[in-house]
Amino acid sequence: MSREEFAKQLIRFMSRYDRFLLSGHIRPDGDSVGVCTAMALALQNMGKEACIVFDGDASRYTQILHQVPALPEELSVKDAGKFFTTGTSYAFIMMDCSEPERTGRAADAIMTAEASMTIDHHITSKETADFNYTEAQTGSTCEILYALFQLAQVPITQEMATALFMGAAFDTGGFRHSNTSADTYAMAADLKAKGVDSTFLLNYLFHTRKFIEARAMSMALKNAKLYEGGILISCMTQRDFFMMGMNAKDADGVVGSLMEIEEAQVACYLREIEEGLIRVNMRSRETVNVARIAQLFGGGGHVQAAGCTVEEPMLLVKERLLEAIRRQLAEGANA
C-alpha cells in the first residue's frame, strides 16, 4: 500500500473514534515514546482523548516532551476503558512494533479495542491489526508518521515537532546511521523551523549520561573481548552490576559506545538481568545483519541494531552468538 493510500486510512481512523489507546514496544525507546506522544497530541488537537500504555520506564524520554496522558501502572489494559472521561470504548494504535506481544502490557488491547491499527518500520513486522502499515526502509516510525501527517494535512505543532524529532534522531543515532536519508534531513530541517531545540535534544540523547552509566561503560569496556573478524563481545554479570551498585536494567546505551571501537564490525553486549536470563544488545556495520542473529534467539530488530533475551547461562549464550555471527560472516550477511 502506498503512503498516500494509508494516509487516507489513517485520517479516517483518527476521525472515526473518540478515544484512543496508543502503545509502542516494551522497554520504550526514543522512537517509540516520540511517535506515541506525537500521535496523542495530534488526536488531542482533533478534540479526541488519547492515552499511552508504556511497559517499562519511559521517563528519560517523556520528561523532555510535552506531557500527555499515560495509563497508570496499576491499571491493566482490561480496565483501560475506565481511564477515559467521555466513554469506555476505544480504538487502539500500535506504533514502532506490530505484534501485540511486543507491546508487553498492551498485548490484549487488540482484542478489546473497537478497531486497531499498526504503523511500524521493523523488517520483522507482522500484519496483526485491522489496518497495518510498514515501511522497513524508513529510519524511524517518527519519520513515517511525519510523512503521513504531511499527506493527511494534520497540523504539526512545536510540541509534536519535538516528539517527532526526538524519535527520528534516536533511531538514526543522531542522523548518523545508514538509515538516514535525504528525506530524514528534509524532515529535520522542517521540524527545526517549527521551533525544535535540536542542540538540546541531540546533546541530551547522545552526549549526556549519568555518572553510574559512565562507570558501567568503563566496566563493559574492561570486560570486552575482540575476536577475529571484528566481533566485539562484552559480558556483564549480576555480580559486576552489584559491585557498581547499579541495576543491570539501567545500563542501556552501552552497546552504542562499544560500536565506536574502530576494529569492531559487530558489537554484542550481554547483560545478566536475572540469574540465567541474558539480555543481548547488538550493533553492526555493513557486514553483519544482526536482526537475523537476534531472530535465531527469538528476538528482532534492524540490520544494524537488534536484540534478544535468552534464558541460558552467560557463557553458553556468548558461545552460541559467536558461532552464529561467524557462520553468517562465512556465508555472507545477505546469503
Binding site for Mn ion (CB under 5 A): 31, 96, 141, 171
| Closest to 299 measured CA to CA, from 123, 154, 112 | 123
Q: CB-wise, 143 or 240, nearer to Mn ion? A: 143
For the bound state, the minimum distance from the C-beta of residue 251 to Mn ion, rounded and expressed in Å, comes to 20
Which residue has its beta carbon closest to Mn ion? 31
Sign of CA dihedral 266, 267, 273, 276: positive
Q: Which is nearer to Mn ion, 40 or 314 (CB)?
A: 40
**Residue among 116 and 125 whose Cβ is closer to Mn ion:** 125
- Closest to Mn ion by CB, 168 or 235: 168
d(CA 299, CA 292): 9
Angle 30-45/141-152 helices, nearest 10 degrees?
Answer: 20
Shortest reach from residue 144's CB to Mn ion, in Å = 9
Do 115 and 92 touch, CB atoms closer than 8 A? yes
Region of 195 (left: φ > 0; alpha: ψ -120 to 50; beta: rest) is left
Nearer to Mn ion, 119 or 258 (CB): 119
The set of residues, in sequence order, having a beta carbon less than 8 Å from that of 179 and lying 6+ positions away, is: 137, 138, 139, 140, 171, 172, 302, 304
| CB-CB contact of 248 with 273 (8 Å) | yes
Q: CB of residue 171 vs Mn ion: minimum separation in angstroms?
A: 5
Name the residue nearer to Mn ion (CB basis): 49 or 135. Answer: 135
Cα–Cα distance list, 297 to 100, 168, 281, 300 (Å):
19, 27, 12, 9
Count of residues in the chain: 335
Residue 74: Cβ within 10 Å count: 6
DSSP SS3 for 263: coil
Taking CA atoms, 51 is separated from 13, 33, 57, in Å, by: 16, 12, 16
CA dihedral 128, 130, 131, 134 (to 10 degrees): 0
The CB-of-161 to Mn ion minimum distance in angstroms stands at 18
Residue closer to Mn ion, measured from CB, 136 or 186: 136
Nearer to Mn ion, 135 or 240 (CB): 135
C-alpha cell at 5: 493510500
Residues in CB range of 25: below 8 A, 6 or more apart: 32, 96, 97, 102, 103, 104
CB of 30 to Mn ion, least distance (A): 8
Strand partners, 233: 225, 268
Q: What's the min distance (Å) between Cβ of 179 and Mn ion?
A: 10
Q: Which is nearer to Mn ion, 231 or 306 (CB)?
A: 306
